[in-house]
């Protein structure tokens, strides 16, 4: 009997708790995406939140406000609703391009200090205004559409692993710069178009998804990324490319020299599957495959050098060369390293292994 009473008590408590939580959800606005844009008079912010109508069904609502400061955005948004705004389930923070160019440190600093905000939320940069992207996401009727798109492209595309936690590590750590997914609108549809590269908290430049594959190879694991490898002397037609699918990669960095002329060796092992090839290419023989491995390896060595040169030219360090040198130096100074950053030399070796050809083996 005592066991029965205790069991009934727990069941009642669970039911009461469930009812209380349901009531709470119905009485607040749960913001799941927010965007920040720069205006002539300050900051414009747009939030996206669901209104739950039936079980597993919701309608997305958009709310916006403007202020001369980021700090009172939420109080201003609160004046426009009949229920309090909560952001404990925030999944996506999107910055407009001009806002990102001015600097996003105030928002980042606020996010990392707020215990309600999870460290794995996604951040991103819009080609134009963040409000434009969030408004376009309204039609998908999914409050997690953009964050889900980013997660999917990290797991199955060319995006390196990136979230608030990763951004904070690169942003506040010495000897490295952060980066974020870069989103555009293409015929009304949201598309990840590359990566936005930052210096400290300011957007400096953007790179394509093709270059994102190179970055992912260097800082993460290029697993599930894809790359269109151009045939030698080919023109820009689809039939003159080989579609490569990355099964995985391993990258090793060695600091050969520190200052005044930093030198770093990079060794990459890249495991590939050839998905599609032009009809004139025959990969059924081992010798032909080994020849292709060699030419693809040489090609990626040049592409890595080209990407590093782009970073040096723009004075950004998304690969974290500064951190690598810092780990080998007792008197490393960030200012001294980046004064010599453009003179940094790299020796790159890419060892390609074609595991499967996917062309009728």
For residue 280 the two structure tokens come to 């004139």
Can you give the pLDDT at residue 360?
A: 46
Can you give the pLDDT at residue 129?
A: 97
CA dist 328 and 47 (Å) reads: 45
Indicate the Cα dihedral angle 156, 158, 159, 160, nearest 10°: 100
Can you give the pLDDT at residue 15?
A: 43
| Number of other CB atoms surrounding residue 122 within 10 Å | 24
Q: What is the mean pLDDT of each run of 10 residues along the chain (361 residues)?
A: 45 43 62 93 91 71 88 86 84 97 94 86 97 92 92 97 95 96 96 98 98 97 94 61 94 91 95 84 76 95 98 98 93 91 96 76 44
| CATH class of the structural domain 221-361 | alpha beta
Q: Give domain limits for the chain.
A: 28-209, 221-361
Indicate the Cα dihedral angle 296, 299, 305, 311, nearest 10°: -90
pTM of the model: 0.88
Can you give the pLDDT at residue 57?
A: 65
């Amino acid at each position: 009997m005592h066991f029965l009473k205790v069991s009934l008590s727990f069941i009642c408590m669970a039911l009461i708790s469930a009812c209380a939580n349901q009531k709470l959800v119905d009485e607040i606005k749960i913001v799941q995406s927010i965007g920040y844009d720069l205006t002539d008079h300050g900051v414009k912010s747009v939030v996206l939140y669901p209104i739950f109508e039936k079980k597993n069904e919701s309608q997305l609502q958009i709310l916006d406000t403007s202020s001369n400061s980021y700090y009172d955005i939420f109080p201003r948004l609160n004046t426009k609703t009949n229920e309090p705004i909560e952001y404990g389930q925030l999944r996506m923070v999107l910055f407009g391009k001009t806002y990102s160019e001015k600097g996003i440190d105030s928002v980042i600093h606020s996010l990392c200090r707020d215990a309600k905000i999870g460290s794995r939320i996604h951040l991103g940069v819009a080609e134009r205004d963040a409000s434009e992207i969030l408004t376009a996401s309204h039609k998908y009727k999914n409050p997690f559409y953009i964050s889900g798109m980013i997660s999917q492209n990290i797991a199955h595309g060319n995006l390196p692993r990136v979230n608030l936690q990763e951004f904070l590590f690169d942003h506040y750590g010495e000897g490295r710069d952060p980066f974020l997914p870069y989103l555009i609108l293409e015929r009304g549809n949201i598309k990840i178009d590359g990566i936005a590269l930052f210096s400290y908290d300011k957007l400096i430049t953007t790179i394509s998804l093709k270059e994102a594959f190179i970055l992912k190879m260097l800082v993460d694991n290029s697993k599930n990324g894809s790359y269109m490898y151009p045939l030698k002397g080919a023109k820009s037609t689809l039939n003159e490319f080989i579609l490569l699918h990355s099964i995985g990669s391993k990258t090793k960095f060695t600091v050969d020299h520190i200052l005044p002329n930093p030198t770093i060796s990079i060794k990459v092992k890249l495991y590939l599957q050839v998905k599609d090839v032009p009809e004139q290419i025959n990969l059924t023989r081992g010798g032909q495959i080994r020849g292709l491995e060699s030419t693809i390896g040489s090609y990626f060595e040049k592409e890595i050098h080209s990407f590093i040169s782009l970073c040096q030219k723009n004075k950004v360090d998304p690969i974290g060369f500064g951190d690598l040198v810092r780990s080998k130096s007792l008197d490393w100074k960030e200012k001294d390293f980046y004064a010599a950053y453009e003179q940094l030399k790299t020796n790159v070796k890419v060892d390609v292994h074609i595991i499967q050809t996917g062309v009728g083996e």
